[in-house]
Each structure stands twice: as structure tokens, then as C-alpha cells.
Structure 1
Amino acid sequence: MTAIRPYLRMVQSAGASVGVSFREIEANQIYYASKEDKRFAMYNVDLGLNDSSSFNIAKSKASTHSVLSAAGVPSIEHRFLLNANSKYTSEDVFDKAEHILGQYGSDAVVKRDDGAQGENVFRVGSKEELRDRLKHIFGLELNAAISPYRSSDLEYRVVVLNGEARLAFSKSKTGSWKHNLSHGASVGEVEPSLEAPLFKLAVQAAGSIGLVFCSVDVLNTADGLQVLEVNSSVFLSEFIKDNAQREEQAFRLFQDAFRLKFQ
């Protein structure tokens, strides 16, 4: 039998503590989660609390910004760039991207539009760099998004469950311009003075997209707090690593998420 991943084990332990049982379908990937007469197929650590429309909006960086902008929620602009090799492409995507780069003052970030964990995310400062990075992303058969680079020493992650901010922490850069924990960033606390506005912004972002359970990443920029992205699956493996107190926080969070799922 395949050993279960530590984070998945924690999530399932939280479920078991409130009466949920699990039956493996695909090791470390798909399980039947059951309680009394109810059951659902659980993919990875996603409890399926978000509907498919909200899930797909959050999966796209550009779509997330569009929805947040329409709702009046401050967020960092992300513009969608359809893969240049797509049969649906009707414009020169590279020319479009270069024009946007000029609007951003030749300091931008390009990334896969559906990306996660900082993979295939590049800071670019010239047309040559931009084209090279876009060709790389398109070569992976992915669409891209471009955004202005916004300087911020800290990035904040807020986990929202059912309209309430339940857990928050900061991410500080260590040797990279990225704030990804999987790339070496370190976890810290949230300044007390920022808690209220940060929580309010995260709850607004989740509600605007229609997400019940999600994490919201926020930058504190020269223009104030702005949503960077929204994640429709809640991954906290780096947050709880080697820290019993944080693991207890995450455990209680998932207890309540399972209770909500089986209501």
C-alpha cells in the first residue's frame, strides 16, 4: 500500500475526527469520503465545496482579475494571452504582449495562466526576454497571463471558509523575487494593523468569485493592499511543516470544512 502524503494525512485525520471515513480509489489522489448516508469523491485535498464555475474562474489568473475588477475589489491586473499556436488565435499575441509590456514600464511578470506554486513564472524587462519566456510557456501547450511587477517585501495568504477569514500568514522572500514557499520563502505573522483590512479584502475576493473555501494571496503595494491571485484548493503543507501549532490551526480549519461539506 502506498504511503500517504503528510499533508493529505493531516486533512484526512481532520475528517476522521468529525466522523468521516475514507476509501482509497487512486493512491494519494482520489478517495471516497463518507459520513452516515452521504458520500463524495474527494480529489487530492479538495473537498469540493466550490462550484465548477467559481473553481474555473479562480484557476485562471486573468479571469480572476477580470471578475475582481468588475466587483470593485483591488487586484493586480492580469491580461490573458492565448497560446500563439492555438487554432483560435486571431491576433499576433507577441505584439499584443509587447504593447502591454510598454504600458507596464518594461517591468512585468509572465506566467502560465493556470499556474501554481511559482512554476513557469518569469519577471521580464525587455521585448526579447518577453518573447523568449512566452515561447517557453506556449511550447508547454499552455496559455499565459501578463501582469505588472509590483514590489512588495511581504505577500500575505488568507484562507477563507464560508465567508470568514480563518487563517492568515505572511510570506517573505529569501534570495528570490518570488514569495512562493516551495521556492524558499519563509512563513511569518501578519502585522496586527493589517489584519482587519486584509481579512476584509480576502473575504470580498472569495465572495466576488463565489468561492466557499479558498486561499487569497495579497500584496501590500505602493497602491495599498491588492489581490495577487486566488487559489480554489487550500494547500498549507509548507505552512504547517515542522510546526505543531500551525498544524493544529490547519487541522481545526479542515474539521470545520468537512462539517460544512456534510451538512
Structure 2
Amino acid sequence: MNEQTSHIILKTEQLSIGYKTRKVETVIASNINFELQKGQLIGLVGANGIGKSTLLRTLIKVQPALSGSILLNEKDLKSTSTSELAKQLSIVLTEQLSSKNLSVFELVALGRHPYTNWVGNLSDEDITIVNSALEQVNISDLKDKRCYELSDGQLQKVMIARALAQDTDIIVLDEPTTHLDMYHKAYILKLLQRLTKETGKTILFSSHEIDLAIQLCDTMIVMQKDDVVCDQPCNLISQGIFESLFPKDLISFDNSTGSFRVSK
């Protein structure tokens, strides 16, 4: 095994995603092939309704693939048990939190669930890992606050800390900047970029913030109507991928600045 292959955390081969009933199979996207490397920040982008959430749900084994394979640490996701998966992949979703009465420390400590005993008692090591996660996200001062007291931006950082406490190779986030203002969108994505460098973890997130993703990501997965492309942002720009992402009647992509502009 060469060194590059050993650093591949997640890989898809001829993956087809969508929905299947007894009578009908609806394909959202097919022939998806990419490799996600250790220690990279990866942005998943595309137009509304293109299938980003379907792809994420398939990658985290919430939704079955129609065909093809997903390899997590070189093992087929289909044969990875729920308990094994929880020690390799952590998730931050956009659903409303049902346990907002928990303290910040208690919520982050839930990330240790795959490792604790059946009654959920925290060891000294667990407590150290939880406190380290709080420090990495700069929210140690919030540890005793109840989650219902937090702003959207603070709560998002708590959820990221919980994923860090779970101590997995890859963290997957579904639109982590939803409901945040421009400053906090940039703050959260910059935080994710820093965490990949400090922890060596692979972080994959879906987002509508394409301009920010272009600036901050090591790699991007771009979902188009007929194709899914994965490459470095600079290569995607030179290939004209972003120019064809949206209809040009309202917005256009400026290759020189790497950003979208409203057509006048």
C-alpha cells in the first residue's frame, strides 16, 4: 500500500444515490467517484435541490446507496456496524436540538457515548477529552450554561465540540452555517479549517456558501445536474465548473476573483 492510499479516509466507487420503492427507483446522481484525504477540509456544494443532502445521508449510512460502494478506512460501509461507524464518523446535522436543557458540558459529553459503559459513566480520560474539545472550539467559558441560553452561533460551536469529543477520523456537517449572519458563517468555516490542521481530522460539510468554500477548502465536491466533480478549488475554477453551476441570467462567476457576481 502506498503512502497516498493509506491517507484516504472515505472513497466512493461508481456510487449511485437516490430513492427506491417497490415499484420505482429515483436516481438523484450516479457515477460518483471521489477520494477524501486525511486532514482536509472538504466542501460539498451545488444548486438547491441538486441532491447534496441525499449524498450526505448516503455517506453517513442513514440512507442506502442505490448501487456502487462507499469505503470508510478501506472497509465497505455496508459491512460496518453502527458501533464501529460511531467510532470512525461523527455527524453535525441541522435538525433542531431536542435536549436544549442540557448544559454545554453535558451535550459535548454525549460525544463520548460510543466509548462509555452501558450506563454512560465518564472516565477521567473521557472528561479530559470533553474539556479538550471545549478548548479547541473556544467555548470553555460556556461549559456550565444551558443550551437554550445560547445563540445559534454558540450552539453550532457546541455541536462541533461534541463531534470532536467523539474522536472520529471524519466529521460530516450538513449546512453548518444555516441561520448565521455573514460574520458567523465565515467564523464557523474558518474554525473548521483550523480544526483540520490542528487535529488531522477530515471534515466534510455541505454549504450554500460557495464563495467562502472556494477560499477555505482544500478540496470541493461540486454537484451538477449531470455530474459530480471533486478537485481542488483552483482546478475547478480553471475547468469552468462554477461558471456552469447556475443559470447566467442573474448571476455569473468571475474566474479572476473566484466569486459570483450579480448580473447587471
Q: TM-score range by the shorter chain?
A: under 0.3
TM-score, structure 2 normalization: 0.26
